[in-house]
Amino acid sequence: MGCEETRELIDAYADSELDLVSSLSVERHMQVCEDCMRAHHSLKALRSLMHDESLYFRPSAGLRKHIRSSLRDEVKAARRLRLASWRWLAAAASVALVAIASLTLVQRTKGPSSEDLLAQEVVSNHVRSLMEPHHAVDVPSSDQHTVKPWFNGKLDFSPPVENPADQEFPLVGGRLDYLGGRTVAALVYQRRHHYINLFIWPSNDAHEMSEKPMRRQGYNLIHWDKSGMEYWVISDLNEAELRQFVEIIQNRL
C-alpha cells in the first residue's frame, strides 16, 4: 500500500472502521513511512483537542428557554401537517416498502459472482503471505531455472516462470498456494518495497481474456487468461506500475 491509498484510509483507521486486512496494510505502511505516521499522529492530536471543554459553547438559561419554545411551535405545526397528509404518506410508505423488499430479494438472489469470490481469496492469500514471512516463498531464488523445476511433481501443470530483474521487477521465489478449490503456483516478485504475488493455474475457459483490473481492500489486482493458463496478479503497488509488470510478463510468455 502506498501513501495515497494510506491517506484515503487513515481517517477510517483512526475510527477503527477498517477490516483486519486493511488495518494491517495501513499499519505496515506507516511503519516505513514517516510522513503517513506523522499524519496519523496529527489526526489523533486534533481529535484529542476537540475534547477540550473550552471549545464548547454553554447557552444561557434564557436562550435555552427560547429554543424550547420555538421547538414546541415547530412540533405543533408539523403535527397538523402530518394529520392532513397521513393518507398520502401511508401510500408512499407502502410503495417504498415493496420497492425495498424487491431490491433486497434481487440482491440476495444474485449474490457475489464467482470472480468476486476468487478475488477475495486472492487478497486473503496475498495478505497471509506478507504476514507470514516463512510462508512467502517455499523456494527462495531469483533464478527462474531453479524456481520452475521446483514445481515439478508438485503440480499437475508446469507454470511459466520469468525473471524481469532487468526491468526492476526481480523474482523473489515461488511457493504452492490454494485458490478456487485447487493447488496453484504462486510466484513472488518485488518492486522497491512492494511485493507482487502472481498466481497461475490452468484455465477452464478456452478463450483468452485480456487484462481485467480491479481494486479490493486497498490492493490492485489484474486478471487475465492466456495460452490455456489463468493469471491473477496482486500488489499494493500503484496500478500504472502493476500494469507495466503485467505487460512485461505477457510479452515473455
* Tens digits of pLDDT across the chain (253 residues): 788 888 788 888 888 888 877 888 888 888 888 888 888 787 777 766 666 565 556 667 777 777 777 777 777 766 766 655 555 555 555 655 656 666 665 555 556 788 899 999 999 999 988 887 667 899 999 999 999 999 999 999 999 999 999 999 999 999 999 998 899 999 999 999 999 999 999 998 767 788 899 999 999 999 999 989 999 999 999 999 999 999 999 998 8
Which three-class secondary structure state does DSSP give residue 250? helix
* Per-residue pLDDT at 39: 80
* Per-residue pLDDT at 234: 97
* 246 vs 127: CA distance, rounded Å: 20
Closest CA to 208 of 250, 179, 170: 250
* Per-residue pLDDT at 99: 60
The residues of the chain that CATH labels 3.30.200.100 are: 114-252
* Per-residue pLDDT at 222: 97
* Per-residue pLDDT at 190: 95
Q: The domain 114-252 is classified under which CATH number: 3.40.50.1820, 3.30.1330.90, 3.30.565.10, 3.30.200.100?
A: 3.30.200.100
CA 82 to chain centre: 45
Helices 3-14 and 34-49, packing angle to 10 deg:
30
* Per-residue pLDDT at 102: 60
Report CA-CA distances (Å) from 152 to 11, 87, 158.
47, 74, 7
pTM value is 0.58
* Per-residue pLDDT at 46: 72
* Per-residue pLDDT at 176: 95
* Per-residue pLDDT at 221: 97
* Per-residue pLDDT at 113: 84
- Residue environment code for 122-153, b if the CB has 16+ CB neighbours within 10 A, otherwise e: bbebbbebbeeeeebbbbebeebeebbebbee
Enter the C-alpha cell of residue 219.
490492493
* 242 vs 191: CA distance, rounded Å: 9
